[in-house]
Structure 1
């Protein structure tokens, strides 16, 4: 039997992804404040000097500068207990500096999987795997 908050957690994650797809840094920051606990445990490579929700905001600042048209397409979600798994396809056009690379104008498509743990309707833990290798190959930073 699903946990009582499972459908609500899935709906919250979909609202969170919708805000991420807005392309607006202010909307993204507000969504992080609304849906993510300030002390979220973020288990993914993040900018040094930041933790919790602030680290997540910095990640999105970098992504939106580099890929202003970034779009996260949720391919499937799986909900169990207090966790929601999201398998996504990400697309974007490289229009700003990213990982030391000047803008190339190239479009990238890569996959990611994230596990979100919820407590009282907010995201309190994030574990993610992003196919950065595919991303960097498409940008020409690594050989195909």
Structure 2
């Protein structure tokens, strides 16, 4: 898949997440998707994303950097959110936090087959300790 086409598919996937259009998630994500090396499958992937939106009412995926080749997307996503309760094991309790996620996606036939995610947890810890 040409790079521009894959980047467009990725942006449509992000729009799907931001609009919480869960019925369309399978358009972008493979049935046997893996997340950070673990087989989660489409249903598990969907459940995890739905749980994120329940715990973080103002969740919005903001693409800041997007690099694509014919099978891979690398993206830097920014977040400015107010998670309820704990987030990544940290007691956020509704406080506004900002951080980035570096995430890599492997595609096959236009769908995400593998996701590798690294969240900047240190940035969140620094904000919580400064307040």
**TM-score interval for Structure 1 and Structure 2 normalised by the shorter chain:** 0.7 to 0.9
Query: Which consecutive segments of 4 or more residues in structure 1 shift more than 4 A?
Result: 99-103
Structure 2 length as normaliser, TM-score? 0.82
Give the deviation of 1:103 after TM superposition.
6.8
SS at match of 1:106: coil
Q: Show the counterpart of 2:121.
A: 132
Cα pair 1:33 1:53 within 8 Å, conserved: yes
Deviations 1:41-83 (A, max 9, x none): 2117x8xxx7122232232122111211111111111112310
Structure 1 length as normaliser, TM-score? 0.75
CA 1:58–1:101: 2 relative to 1, 3 Å? farther
Cα pair 1:77 1:86 within 8 Å, conserved: yes
Q: CA RMSD in A?
A: 2.4
| 1:97 maps onto 2:97 in alignment | no
May I ask how many residue pairs the two structures share in their alignment?
129
Segments of 5+ residues of structure 2 without an aligned counterpart are none
Q: Show the counterpart of 2:27.
A: 34
CA 1:101–1:135: 2 relative to 1, 3 Å? closer
CA 1:101–1:85: 2 relative to 1, 3 Å? closer
| 1:1-144 to 2 correspondences below 5 Å | 4-22=1-19, 24=20, 27=21, 29-43=22-36, 51-94=40-83, 96-99=84-87, 104-138=93-127, 140=128, 143-144=129-130
